[in-house]
Amino acid sequence: MLPGTSPNATVLDSATRDRTRVLLLFSLSGRLRPRDTALGALVDRYDYGRFASHLMTSQDVLPVPVLDEHVAPRRLRLPHGDHGLGLASLRILVVATPRGDATLVVDCAFAGETTAGDLAAWLATTCFDRERIELDDRPLLQTLTEQLGRPLALGQKVHQLVFPGGRLQRELLSADEARKAILLNEIVYRGRMPWNPATPYDASLAPHLRNHGLTLSALGRGVSVQAGWAPHVENGLMLVAVGMVSALAVLQRTRLAAFAMMKANEQALTDSPTEIRSLISRLSAGVNELQLDLAFGVEAYVDSLLIPEMVMEAFQSSQRDALGIRDSLENSARMVERLTSVISARSAALDAELAERDERRDRTVSGLVAAATLIALPPTLLLAFFGVNGTNVDDHRSILDLRAYGTAYALAWLPFVVLVVIGYVLLRRISTRSGSLLPTSDDDAVPVPPPRPPSGSPRP
């Protein structure tokens, strides 16, 4: 159990929190393949209460912690100060999925009371200026990179889980709808959307709002406010949010990779079958990776199979709708399918071209063999004639003496010449018949009937 909480009962999912807790979730670019580590599984690092049995069953699918440190709060420095919010505790984790998609988790608890305005400013700084967050006067990512021995960079996907405590929690749970909307609007939109108290209450400004009296959930695309939950529920919500952030990062990477492969296919200027086959092989391998990413990096974390509980399902479905993951997943899957079709079509075209090339080569070789056979036939007959020790061959005469051997030359070459003439005549006949299929004069053309005059016009 985290410090600053006092549950109503150990079996309840609701609790009263004394200190506001914020979880910052940042996607990390680059692959970080998890290895066997002494940190164990996430279920060993946090208290998940009654959800632990589900996580134990699915731990081979869940993200694995590759870094877990409790850091002194004074070591963390924000670019624009702490906005009057001092930290009581700070924990930094880096988790990675089996596919190597990494997420940075910064677990913070504030020391004193927090107001919606100060909290909104703190959330805005840690989101929009996250690259300038420092740990011990050094960029946070630089410190983590040195500890992990892998180059890491912050991605574009950010989600901030806010668990209000103290006066802020009591105000959110007990305030009227108008006041509640003002507070949630300021936190969910990080103070970037002005609110006019004179305007009527608009529930759409706090999207996916659920208020059960003892608990409250309000989800935006970048910030979620969860009030009144017990620590084990908060940790379960963190795990669901980590899966969503990781899935969004994978979707973005998949989309960019699909466009890159499309450009590589369009800009490939080569006529060499070997180079084309190499290109198709690279594109096919890339598409296979994209399909694996969509299946095991997105689909595995956007349904309720990992933690099949009503509390988790409600948060997951609301966050899935707020982030638009379903539509993005369907669109990305269709793009990959069309890319697969293009690669298959190019492969089929290459196979057809190679088959045609082989057929042309076979015809050329057959023609050369036939021509060589025909050309070699007359000299063979003449050599056989002159090689015979017969009475018609005079040893004192040259074989080029046409007076003596003209008949032999004529008999040897006559079949070859006759065969060539017959072949030429047949080819001419084929060409003539092919040409006769087209009309050569107006008399040969098929007559076209004149157009029928419109009704009511005089006939000629």
147 in any annotated domain: yes
410 in any annotated domain: no
Tens of pLDDT, residues 351-371: 777 777 777 777 776 766 776
Tens of pLDDT, residues 140-190: 999 988 888 888 889 889 999 999 999 999 999 988 888 888 888 899 998
Tens of pLDDT, residues 67-101: 999 999 999 999 988 888 999 999 999 999 988 89
The predicted structure's pLDDT at residue 84: 86
375 in any annotated domain: no
Confidence check: pLDDT of 294 > 60: yes
* Number of domains, the chain: 1
| pLDDT-based confidence at residue 412 (cuts at 50, 70, 90) | low
Domain around 169: 5-245
The predicted structure's pLDDT at residue 126: 94
328 in any annotated domain: no
The predicted structure's pLDDT at residue 374: 67
Position with higher pLDDT, 203 vs 30:
30
319 in any annotated domain: no
The predicted structure's pLDDT at residue 446: 44
Q: What would the mean pLDDT of 124-134 be, rounded to a whole number?
A: 93
Q: How many residues does the chain have?
A: 460
Confidence check: pLDDT of 309 > 60: yes
The predicted structure's pLDDT at residue 282: 84
Mean of the per-residue pLDDT values of the chain: 79
Confidence check: pLDDT of 299 > 90: no
Confidence check: pLDDT of 34 > 50: yes
pTM of the model as a whole: 0.72
449 in any annotated domain: no
Tens of pLDDT, residues 423-455: 667 666 655 554 444 444 444 444 545 545 544
Q: Are 118 and 83 in contact (CB under 8 A)?
A: yes
208 in any annotated domain: yes
324 in any annotated domain: no
